[in-house]
């Protein structure tokens, strides 16, 4: 029912909307005076007195005329601001003065107490109706916003919060910041917490995304923060860098996905084209850890150099399937001569690796160990160290002796 009513109201012409507001305000003014008299006199005898209705007949049109003159009905309820409530207060004060003057020359006397009660009731009812209508219209028309936590309560974070609060996609619910002087404060309704509280905040608020609002920090610091956050069950996104914001190329509210460059922790080094062409063009290439963040990006870039074949070597069946499907689609659309071969296996098994190298005639290996890029539990540190430190060492001992490019 509220949804149907809201859609009906929104679909009306501007003139009809103003007429409905005028009629509702007329009823509220009348009810405010009736209840003010009833609360003070504790009887309803005044309702049968003709002078009382004469007072209403004068007060209502003059009050509505004052609202029109003050521009109250030009405001759109969905976007009504605090200024509109000041206009309501001004109109109600004027209406109360008119009521006092009219009652002074009428047989039905209205005491000062009745005037005060009338003013309060009119202010609450007319203003409250607008608040109710605004919330109903916004609530039923907008899709549910995605709850987000903002990492960084500085200037950029506050500007991002303001931008998102006026938008229709995201709802900021909390800040986290490393600055202890900000922790415990509340910024525009959002409390500021320590980063250590993130697991609890994600659960309590039902947050779906964590937005990094730290455009001025270095790449190294950004990568350090990302490595701290990678184990959290939440989607991590970021805002553009300060250079892009200041130059006008992007806005602070342009939320993007975390890029490989953010994870790198330094400025990217452009590849040597001559070296890449020599090692990739027309060659059989194997990428280990091909389903990881770095490995999959590496495969995409290798495709651009026109290899003969790419062997995707990955331990995770799901990750291997995902990257294989993506690369198969790319080769069909842009690189039809490149063959993609998915292979499940562990780089800690030299026998398995040796067999793959021989069977596919691998000429160049790119080793992207995903375990070095993610935070691991204490129980996994030993395995992670073994994986990232010892794997490249056995490549020279393998029969094919391909060129190896460790990326760990």
DSSP letters along 15-52, please?
HHHHHHHHHHHHHHHHHHHHHHHHHHH---GGGG-HHH
Can you tell me the mean pLDDT for 265-272? Answer: 70
Q: Fold for domain 273-406?
A: Rossmann fold (3.40.50)
For residue 404, pLDDT beyond 90: no
310 alpha carbon, distance to own chain's centre:
38
Q: Please list, in sequence order, all residues whose beta carbon lies within 8 angstroms of the beta carbon of residue 92, skipping any fewer than 6 positions away.
A: 63, 119, 122, 123, 126
Pairing of strands 186-187, 403-406: unpaired
> What does the pLDDT look like over 289-340, one tens digit per residue?
888 878 888 899 999 999 999 999 998 898 899 999 999 999 999 999 999 9
Question: Can you tell me the distance from the alpha carbon of 307 to that of 302, in angstroms, rounded to the nearest whole number?
Answer: 7
Check residue 402 and give its pLDDT.
54
Burial zone of 406 (CB within 10 Å; 0-12 exposed, 13-18 middle, 19+ buried): middle
For residue 121, pLDDT beyond 90: yes
User: Residues 279, 307: contact at Cβ < 8 Å?
Assistant: no
Sign of the alpha-carbon torsion through 65, 66, 68, 73: negative
Query: 318 is written with which tokens?
Result: 């799901």
Check residue 331 and give its pLDDT.
92
Can you tell me the mean pLDDT for 347-356? Answer: 86
Check residue 408 and give its pLDDT.
38
Report the percentage of the chain scoring pLDDT > 90: 26
Can you tell me the mean pLDDT for 105-127? Answer: 85
Question: Can you tell me the distance from the alpha carbon of 404 to that of 360, in angstroms, rounded to the nearest whole number?
Answer: 16
Res. 351 pLDDT band, cuts 50 70 90: confident
For residue 174, pLDDT beyond 90: yes
- Superfamily of domain 146-264, CATH level 4: NAD(P)-binding Rossmann-like Domain (3.40.50.720)
116 alpha carbon, distance to own chain's centre:
45
Question: Can you tell me the distance from the alpha carbon of 305 to that of 282, in angstroms, rounded to the nearest whole number?
Answer: 8
3-state helix, strand, coil in the chain (%, to 5): 60, 15, 30
> What does the pLDDT look like over 36-86, one tens digit per residue?
988 887 777 778 778 888 888 898 999 888 888 887 777 656 556 666 778
Query: 278 is written with which tokens?
Result: 């020599």
Query: 255 is written with which tokens?
Result: 């939320």
Lowest-confidence pick of 94-108, 139-153, 235-249:
235-249
Question: Can you tell me the distance from the alpha carbon of 273 to that of 287, in angstroms, rounded to the nearest whole number?
Answer: 19
Q: Which of residues 372 and 404 earns the better pLDDT score?
A: 404
In the chain, CATH 3.40.50.720 sits at: 146-264, 273-406
CA angle 234, 236, 237 (to 5 degrees): 145
> DSSP assignment of 348-399, as one string?
T-HHHHHHHHHHHT--EEEE--GGGGS---GGGHHHHHHHHHHGGGGGGGST
373 alpha carbon, distance to own chain's centre:
26
In 3D, which of 161, 141, 144 has the Cα closest to residue 152?
161
Question: Can you tell me the distance from the alpha carbon of 170 to that of 214, in angstroms, rounded to the nearest whole number?
Answer: 18
N residues, the chain: 408
Report the percentage of the chain scoring pLDDT > 70: 76
Question: Can you tell me the distance from the alpha carbon of 405 to that of 278, in angstroms, rounded to the nearest whole number?
Answer: 13
Check residue 371 and give its pLDDT.
47
Check residue 190 and give its pLDDT.
92
Lowest-confidence pick of 22-36, 216-230, 271-285, 353-367:
216-230
For residue 341, pLDDT beyond 60: yes
For residue 368, pLDDT beyond 90: no
């Amino acid at each position: 029912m509220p949804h149907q009513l809201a859609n009906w109201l929104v679909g009306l012409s501007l003139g009809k909307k103003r007429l409905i507001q005028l009629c509702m305000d007329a009823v509220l003014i009348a009810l405010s005076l009736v209840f003010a008299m009833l609360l003070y006199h504790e009887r309803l005898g005044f309702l049968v007195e003709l002078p009382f209705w004469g007072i209403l007949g004068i007060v209502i049109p003059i009050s509505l005329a004052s609202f029109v003159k003050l521009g109250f009905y030009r405001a759109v309820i969905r976007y009504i601001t605090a200024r509109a409530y000041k206009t309501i207060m001004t109109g109600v004060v004027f209406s109360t003065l008119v009521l006092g003057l009219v009652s002074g020359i009428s047989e039905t006397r209205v005491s000062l107490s009745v005037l005060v009660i009338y003013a309060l009731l009119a202010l609450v009812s007319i203003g409250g109706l607008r608040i109710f209508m605004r919330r109903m219209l916004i609530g039923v028309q907008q899709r549910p916003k995605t709850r987000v936590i903002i990492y960084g309560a500085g200037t950029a974070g506050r500007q991002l919060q303001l931008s998102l609060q006026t938008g229709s996609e995201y709802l900021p619910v909390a800040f986290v910041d490393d600055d202890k002087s900000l922790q415990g404060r509340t910024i525009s309704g959002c409390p500021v917490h320590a980063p250590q509280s993130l697991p609890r905040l994600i659960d309590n608020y039902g947050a779906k995304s964590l937005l990094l609002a730290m455009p001025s920090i270095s790449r190294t610091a950004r990568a350090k923060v990302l490595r701290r956050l990678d184990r959290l069950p939440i989607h991590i996104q970021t805002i553009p860098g300060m250079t892009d914001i200041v130059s006008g190329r992007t806005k602070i509210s342009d939320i993007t996905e975390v890029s490989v460059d953010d994870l790198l922790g330094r400025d990217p080094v452009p590849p040597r084209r001559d070296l890449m062409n020599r090692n990739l063009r027309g060659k059989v290439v194997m990428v280990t850890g091909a389903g990881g963040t770095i490995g999959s990006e590496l495969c995409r870039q290798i495709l651009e150099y026109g290899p003969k074949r790419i062997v995707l070597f990955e331990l995770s069946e799901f990750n291997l399937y995902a990257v294989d499907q993506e690369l198969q689609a790319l080769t069909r659309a842009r690189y039809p001569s490149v063959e993609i071969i998915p292979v499940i296996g562990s780089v800690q098994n030299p026998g398995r690796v040796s067999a793959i190298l021989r069977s596919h005639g691998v000429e160049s290996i790119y080793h992207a160990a995903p375990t070095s890029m993610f935070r691991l539990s204490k129980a996994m540190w030993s395995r992670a160290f073994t994986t990232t430190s010892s794997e490249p060492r056995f490549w020279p001992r393998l029969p094919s002796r391909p060129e190896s490019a460790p990326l760990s």
